Amino acid sequence: MDILIEKQSDALVFVIKGRLDGSTAPTLQEQLISELAAAPLVLLDCAALDYISSAGLRVLLLATKECKKAKRPFGICNLQNEVREVFKMSGFSSIIDIFDSREQALEKLASPA
C-alpha cells in the first residue's frame, strides 16, 4: 500500500493505493492519528484502493471516531466497485460518509452542518 498525504488549506487528503489489510493497516492508522491534529477535515481518496480487509475497516472506524471526538469532518471518496461492496455488506456505508468524487466530498464536508 502507498499513502500520499496532500495538505490543502482546508483539508488533509490521504490518497491510498493498493491493499489495505492486516499488514498495511497499522501504517495508515499511525499516519492518520499523527496528522489528525493539523487537519481541518480529513478525506481518504480511495480511487486506487483495490482491496480492504476487516483490519482496514477497523482503522477507518477508528479514524471516524477520532475525527468525531476532535470535531473534524471525515469522509471517503472514489471507492472502486469491489471496495464499495465491502462497505455496503459490512454496514460501514451507513457509518462513514462516502462520496463519489473528491470535489463532492470537499464541498459537503467543508460546509457547516
pLDDT of residue 111: 80
Q: Are 96 and 76 in contact (CB under 8 A)?
A: yes
Cα separation values, 99 from 2, 51, 76, Å? 21, 18, 6
CA atoms lying within 13 Å on the CB side of residue 45 = 18
Considering the entire predicted model, what is its pTM? 0.92
Beta-ladder partners of 97: 75
Query: Per-residue pLDDT tens for 32-75?
Result: 989 887 788 999 999 999 999 999 999 999 999 999 998 999 99
Q: Residue 81: its pLDDT value, please?
A: 96
CATH of 2-101, one of 3.40.630.10, 3.30.750.24, 3.40.50.1970, 3.30.1330.40: 3.30.750.24
Distance CA 13, CA 78 (A): 12
> In whole numbers, what is the pLDDT of the chain averaged over residues?
93
Helix (H, G, I), strand (E, B) or coil at 63: helix
> Where residue 28 falls among pLDDT bands split at 50, 70, 90?
very high
83: Cβ contacts below 8 Å, ≥ 6 apart: 46, 49, 50, 51, 52
For 71, the grid coordinates are 470535531
Angle at 11 between CA 44 and CA 81, to 5 degrees: 20
- What DSSP state is assigned to residue 78? -
Q: What is the pLDDT of residue 112?
A: 62
Nearest by Cα to 28 from 5, 47, 51, 54: 5
Domain ranges of the chain: 2-101
